[in-house]
Structure 1
Amino acid sequence: MKITVDVDCTPEEARAFLGLPDVKPMQDALMRQMQDRMSANLAAMDPDALLKTWLPVGIQGFEQMQKMMWNQMTSAMGGGKDAK
């Protein structure tokens, strides 16, 4: 035996029927605060400051990766570093 029940209601009606609170006003207020904070932070940072902050770390990490790969390649080929 199979019984199927179709309920046709909106999310608001289902929430009210189940006794769940309406959190939409709280979500809207939090989203507004987040947008205000993000806008203020983005306005405070100009592109030049962002590049100075992010770029050196990226370039340094890339150079370190290159050196590590070169050392692995030379040691795998049996070259190694010359002793002086």
Structure 2
Amino acid sequence: MKVTFDIDCTPQEARAFLGLPDLTPLHDAYLERMKSYVVDGLNPSDFEKLARTWMPGIADSLETWRNGFWSAIPGVKPPG
């Protein structure tokens, strides 16, 4: 036996029914931050924060990472 239910509700109504929190204010704040990155661009401190988030082990020593990258390419002298 197979039973199918079709429920017609909005995503907000479904979240409320399931008891999930309303994250609309958090979502709006995130979108505003992303808009500012698009309009104003990233500054060096923002890039450093992103690097530390995305590459926690590597970001602590970018110089070591950079040297390792260049040493992996035979016959190429690192810049600087």
Pairwise same-fold verdict (TM > 0.5): no
- TM-score with structure 2 setting the length: 0.45
Structure ranking higher in helix proportion? 1
| Structure whose alpha-carbon radius of gyration is higher | 1
- TM-score with structure 1 setting the length: 0.43
